[in-house]
Amino acid sequence: MTIVPSDHYGGWGLTPGRTRCAKRAARYLSSRTRQREEDLVTERLLGQPIAERTNVASRARIAARPAGTPPPSLVSVHRGVDSPFRFYLRRQAKAAEAVGITFRDIALDPGAGPTDLVERVRALDRDPSVHAVLLEHPLPAPFDFYAAVAELRPEKDVDGVGPLNLGRLVAQRPIHVPAVARAAVDIAQHYRLPLAGERVVVLGRSETVGLPLALLLGGRAEGIHATVTIAHSRTRRLDRVLADARTIFSCVGQPGLLHRGNVPEGAHIVDVGLSSVPDPDRAGGVRAVGDADATALEGWAGSLTPVPGGVGPVTVADLMAGCVRAWERAVRPEGGP
Ligand code: NAP
């Protein structure tokens, strides 16, 4: 059999006139492809075991506090009953209770404006009984999330989204980093996904998710040192950008963005995206999905975090671990209890 480059067959093709041979070769190649697809089992990168390990450590650190020391205290500030943040509040309250953190949420009064929010955050920053503060984001105009979060000292800005923490992350000396970015890296390290010296792609460049994640991945922390490409809504030919990526971190919020047509075979995917799609079979009529088309990528991607059940539980556990660190700094500035 002669194999020659052929435009007609789109690259390496088979010479015409040897049809029987060609058919046999095609059958052979397609059976090889089928065989490869059958061999490739897409591993599910579950978040729960990592979250549980983090929670066990947090509980132990709180339990080991000296007698008379109050437990960590976390306060979450939000816009009130209409806020989509309510879903996260329930998760935060449950997670805090599970590890022994005192949790309180503060709803702004109806009619409160940007100045009220800034004053509220300033008061929490001064309150020594509060160790960690979370602020709902994004916030609709006229609220200014960054003006408000800038009122927090970096030690209390537990989600690491204030200007001082983000600046410290650029300098590779973070106090807190955004929990979702840390969670994505935790998953990649726990499951030993290719990072060090490898090409990884981060989809999304928001200040709270994609950008800090790219900084962590491209940083000098032990075992990371990835070569990072950032893609965003203006990126052309995503398939080419992804072509030689070993690990893909998707932080977009667009169901179906990643599929067999743009993900290289065998690539690993940490799916940070979270969207709701209609599902009449579910209570509430919706279900959560990520950016990756998990069904299409089964047997193609090397591994994939499920949504839900991947990045989400690790993010909440990392947030609680951040509260414990903030509390340790406050009660024992020279080190942990
Ligand atoms: P965001 O502020 O809306 O940012 C989305 C990013 O995706 C932007 O940078 C945007 O580019 C980029 N983008 C849009 N279309 C794209 C495309 N076709 N290809 C590549 N990039 C594209 O959202 P976010 O706050 O960063 O959150 C990202 C996702 O993570 C959301 O689904 C959110 O729900 C999820 N999330 C999950 C957790 C968790 O615990 N699992 C926590 C936080 C957030 P431009 O900058 O050009 O607009």
Checking if the pLDDT of 183 tops 70, the result is yes
Our answer on whether the CB atom of 204 is closer than 6 Å to any ligand 1 atom is: yes
Predicted pLDDT of residue 2: 31
CA gap 193, 248 in Å, rounded: 10
pLDDT grade for 198, boundaries at 50, 70 and 90: very high
Q: Give the rounded percent of residues in the chain with a pLDDT score beyond 70.
A: 86
Checking if the pLDDT of 171 tops 80, the result is yes
Alpha carbon of 202 to ligand 1 centroid (Å): 10
What are the tens digits of pLDDT across the range 96-136? 999 999 999 999 998 899 999 999 999 999 999 999 999 99
The ligand 1 atom nearest the CA atom of 253: 32
pLDDT grade for 240, boundaries at 50, 70 and 90: very high
Our answer on whether the CB atom of 211 is closer than 6 Å to any ligand 1 atom is: no
CA gap 193, 268 in Å, rounded: 7
pLDDT grade for 27, boundaries at 50, 70 and 90: low
Alpha carbon of 122 to ligand 1 centroid (Å): 29
What does the pLDDT average to over 245-250? 98
Q: Which residue has the tokens 């949420």?
A: 105
Question: Residues 104, 78: contact at Cβ < 8 Å?
Answer: no
Question: Residues 73, 132: contact at Cβ < 8 Å?
Answer: yes
Q: Whose CA is nearest to atom 42 of ligand 1?
A: 180
Our answer on whether the CB atom of 203 is closer than 6 Å to any ligand 1 atom is: yes
The three-state secondary structure class of 245 is: coil
Checking if the pLDDT of 12 tops 60, the result is no
Mutate to test the pocket of ligand 1, among 166, 252, 271 (most ligand atoms within 8 A of CB): 252
pLDDT grade for 79, boundaries at 50, 70 and 90: confident
CA gap 312, 310 in Å, rounded: 6
What does the pLDDT average to over 129-154? 95
Alpha carbon of 157 to ligand 1 centroid (Å): 21
Domains and CATH numbers, the chain: 71-176+315-330 (3.40.50.10860), 178-311 (3.40.50.720)
CA–CA distances in Å: residue 56 to residues 12, 92, 315, 329: 55, 16, 15, 20
Residue among 232, 228, 281, 284 nearest 254 (CA):
232
Our answer on whether the CB atom of 210 is closer than 6 Å to any ligand 1 atom is: yes
The ligand 1 atom nearest the CA atom of 209: 26
Contacts of residue 89, defined as CB under 8 A and 6 or more positions apart, other chains included, come to 76, 78, 105
Predicted pLDDT of residue 161: 96
The dihedrals phi and psi of 231, each to the nearest 5 degrees, come to: -115, 155
Q: Which two tokens stand for residue 238?
A: 């995503």
What does the pLDDT average to over 58-78? 96
Averaged confidence pLDDT in the chain: 89
Mutate to test the pocket of ligand 1, among 180, 233, 250 (most ligand atoms within 8 A of CB): 233
* Residue 53 burial class via C-beta count within 10 angstroms: exposed 0-12, middle 13-18, buried 19 and up: middle
Q: Whose CA is nearest to atom 16 of ligand 1?
A: 233
Predicted pLDDT of residue 332: 78
CA gap 262, 242 in Å, rounded: 7
Q: Whose CA is nearest to atom 48 of ligand 1?
A: 233
Checking if the pLDDT of 26 tops 80, the result is no
| Total-model pTM | 0.88
Angle of helix 48-63 relative to helix 179-190, nearest 10 degrees? 110
What are the tens digits of pLDDT across the range 270-310? 999 999 999 999 988 999 999 999 999 999 999 999 999 99
Alpha carbon of 252 to ligand 1 centroid (Å): 3
Write the DSSP symbol of residue 239. H
Going by their DSSP bridges, the two strands 132-135 and 199-203 should be labelled as unpaired
